[in-house]
Amino acid sequence: MTNVIVFVPGRVELLGNHTDYNEGLVLGAAINRGLTVSGGFRDDGMIKLDSSLMGQVEIAATDLSPQTEATWMNYSLGVHRELIDSGLADEGFEARIEGDLPAGSGLASSAALEVATALFLLKLHRRQLPAMELAKLCQRAEHRFVGVRSGLLDQVMSIFGRADHLILFDARSEQVQMIPFSRELAVIIASSGKQRELADGDYNVRREQCYDAARALGVRALRDVSSADLNRRTDLDSLLRQRARHIVGENERVERAIQLLAHRKAREFGELMNESHQSSQENFENSTPELDLLVELARKIPGILGARLTGGGFGGAIVALCDREKADAAARELQSAYRQQTGIQSDMFACEIGPGAS
């Protein structure tokens, strides 16, 4: 059996929460944790997925319809469907999925699985796609097969990642820019122990509210609105104003963050992360009591400069910016403090800013 192995990292979003589908700016990075997919062709018309975390499923390759029980496999099946429709794949296969990326934690494990499946199948079929086309194919699979109207953020971060660099992604122009990340800094990922399931609808509801706000403001997307513009529009529905305030503020925070990083102002960058989380609480309402507690605890720990939820929210994880030399100790202290308050033993770790898919 032909054997192919691919690795795709998870991603962390440092600033730019829910801005991607609003044609805005995102600042994130690939991390040194992710998923490995390995395997080869099958000649019996079957697809077998074997996950060390989620279990084993086998279906006929002709049965490419969304699964209602082992829903995790829809991310892989949806990608296979897109590749078939594009004339890039047509056979059964088996794949072993392993990794150290917690599912449902807000680190884009679903996008990592999509990208890893796509690269695995392309390699098997000896085909290639340009990086941005690959990201868009995986996004289409999530839209059409999984039912989450996600932006391109997660796939772009996992594909374009570079060690010791943040990624500035302009979702309107689809430009990707590398921003050097100081070796004196590290990021801590702290899982709340509460998984998120974006297909349940909260993500799609927020997306539609953002689109409603843009229409009410008479713009193509919330990317085209400034805080000053928003303050002048006193006629806007109060809920839509909250949603718009979050997106507009996030875009402005990303722009300020780029300047701060260029001048090595890490503490001020951390303050922007704090502001971002407050906006998630008050304006976008995509935080949870567990995420709020983690952020509160993190900010009290020596060496941590700022903290916020990362990813879609509604559960998952937070990200904290930390002095590198204190990062491992800070992660352990945060894990202990969170366990004492909640009884939840969840995954918390300092991580490197790593390379993209390989």
Q: How far apart are CA 99 and CA 112, in angstroms?
A: 10
Half-sphere exposure of 34 (CA within 13 A, CB side): 33
Which residue ranges in the chain fall short of pLDDT 70?
Answer: 1-2, 103-106, 196-200
Q: What pLDDT is recorded for position 104?
A: 63
pLDDT confidence of residue 199: 47
Q: What would the pLDDT profile of 148-200 be if each residue is shown by its tens digit?
A: 788 788 899 999 999 999 999 999 999 999 999 999 999 999 999 887 655 45
Considering the segment(s) 4-177 as one domain, its CATH architecture is 2-Layer Sandwich (3.30)
How many angstroms separate the CA atoms of 279 and 192, rounded? Answer: 19
Domain boundaries, the chain: 4-177
Between the alpha carbon of residue 296 and those of residues 274, 281, 302, 314, 341, the distances in Å are: 10, 12, 13, 17, 12
Verify whether residue 154 is a known catalytic residue.
Answer: yes
Pairing between β-strand 25-42 and β-strand 304-310 as defined by DSSP bridges: unpaired
State the Cα–Cα distance between residues 202 and 204, nearest whole angstrom. Answer: 6
Output the pLDDT for position 107.
76
Provide the residue type at 329 as one letter: A
pLDDT of residue 105: 66
Q: Taking the CB of residue 300, how many other CB atoms lie within 10 A of it?
A: 10
Cα 37 to Cα 98, 251, 314: the distances in Å are 7, 35, 28
From 44, 50, 154, 323, active-site residue: 154
